[in-house]
Amino acid sequence: MLTHALYIDDSGTKEYAATPDEYERHRGKSRYFVFCGALMTIAEAGRLSNKLIALKLNRFGDETVEIKSNWLRIPQERRQRYLDPFGLTDNELNQFINDYHNIFVDESELKFIAAIVDKLHMQEDYGNPWYAPAVAYELVLQRVQQELSSGDTVAVIIDDMSGATPKGNQYKANLKAQHERLKRFGGRLRNFDFPCLATQKFANSAASQILQVSDLAAYNVYRQFIDHGDEWETHGNLRMYPPFGRIARKFRTDDQGRVQGFGIAKFPLRNRVLWTIQPPESRRAAP
Q: Is-contact 284 240, C-beta < 8 A? A: yes
Say what the pTM is: 0.93
Predicted confidence at residue 32, as pLDDT, reads: 97
Q: Is-contact 275 260, C-beta < 8 A? A: yes
* Burial call 251-279: b when 16+ CB within 10 Å, e when fewer: bbbeeebbbbbbbbbbbeeeeebebbbee
What does the chain come to in residues?
287
Give me the phi and psi of 24, to 5 degrees please: -65, -30
Predicted confidence at residue 25, as pLDDT, reads: 66
The C-alpha atoms of residue 222 and residue 61 are separated, in whole angstroms, by: 31
Predicted confidence at residue 261, as pLDDT, reads: 95
Averaged pLDDT in 10-residue chunks for the chain of 287 residues: 96 92 80 98 98 98 97 96 97 97 97 98 94 97 97 96 60 94 95 96 96 98 95 90 95 94 96 79 38
Predicted confidence at residue 285, as pLDDT, reads: 38
